[in-house]
Amino acid sequence: MSVRSRRRRTSLAALAVAAPTIVVFAVFSWWPIVRGALMSVQHPTFVGAVEWVGWSNFAYVLADPQLGQAVGNTLWFTVLAIVFGFPLPLALAVMISTVRARRRGLFAALAYFPVIVPPVVAILLWRFAYDPAPTGLFNSILATVGAGPFAWLNDAALAMPSIVLQATWAAAGTSVLIYLAALTAVRPDLYEAAALDGASVWQRVWHVTLPQMRTMILIMLLLQLIGAAQVFTEPFLMTSGGPQNATLTILLLMYRYAFGGSADYGAATALGLLLAAALTVLSVLYLRLTRRWQA
């Protein structure tokens, strides 16, 4: 048997093994995307003939006065999530990496614990802690230092930062573990050389740790940007978009289109495609701008 025949047989065998996975992925991943793209140019009723409406769904979404507020709120959430939620897991990972090896696992498990709490349970617990009454948990704690009480989720100015705080607490653990794994790839001799040169702990982190992890940091930043732009569960369960639509996000507006009084699935899928297109453009631009820093 020739080398070409053996390679062909190996390729066919590999394709046969991978075929079930490819089919399942196509059915449950790609087909919903294709179906959503079709629904965006339709007025789906799920009974009777399909009504094709062309680009009218997109025109309706772009003309909706709530869209601007939803986009602004989503951007505000993203900014807060990046400013406060992005450096925290990295700092925790660096701190955990400096403790003794036998205790490192315990601290890593404690950092990851919020991730294993069911999201609905965690959000309801935080809603209880955000009770605006003076006897609320957070208000009671702040009263000991003479602060508060605050309305938290009932205050248009505090609602979004309050949601960001909960979302950061809930999601930081995964990033901490990823950063801890990346820290193991940093060569110890670099720290030793920096210490011999008289570098402080902060200088070693700034000049050794961060440059060695910059590719991972840039990737994690992109993933957090994409995730923050798709925030839904927290504002849906904590505020339902209020007060006065101060926490209305793009995905929450999409939910209102689909499951509100109008049940406009065409508008919902059109908004979803617009968000996907915006995130795709953002990702491409981000990767191009950061390409020279990932080496």
Predicted pLDDT at 195: 73
- DSSP summary character for residue 184: T
* 101 belongs to a structural domain: yes
Both tokens assigned to 117: 């709490």
Looking at the chain, which runs of residues are DSSP E strands?
A: 42-43, 51-52
Are residues 211 and 70 located together in one domain of the fold? yes
Residue 85 lies in a domain: yes
Predicted local distance difference test score (pLDDT) of residue 294: 59
Strand 42-43 relative to strand 51-52, pairing: antiparallel
Q: How many domains does the chain have?
A: 2
Q: What is the 3-state composition of the chain as percent helix, strand, coil, each rounded to the nearest 5? A: 75, 0, 25
> In angstroms, rounded to a whole number, what is the distance separating the alpha carbons of residues 132 and 21?
50
Report if residue 52 sits inside a domain.
no
pLDDT of residue 288: 85
Same domain, 128 and 5: no
- The DSSP result for 149-179, as a single string, is ---GGGSTTTHHHHHHHHHHHHHHHHHHHHH
Domain presence at residue 162: yes
Q: Which residues pair with 43 in a beta bridge?
A: 51
In which residue ranges of the chain is pLDDT below 70? Answer: 1-7, 46, 48, 201, 294-295
Same domain for 266 and 177: yes
CATH number at residue 286: 1.10.3720.10
250 shares its domain with 152: yes
35 within some domain: yes
Looking at residue 293, the DSSP 8-state letter turns out to be G
The pair of three-digit structure tokens given for residue 14, joined into one six-digit string: 């590999």
Give yes or no for a contact between 107 and 91, defined as CB atoms under 8 angstroms apart. no
Structural domain of residue 163, as residue ranges?
57-293
pLDDT of residue 76: 94
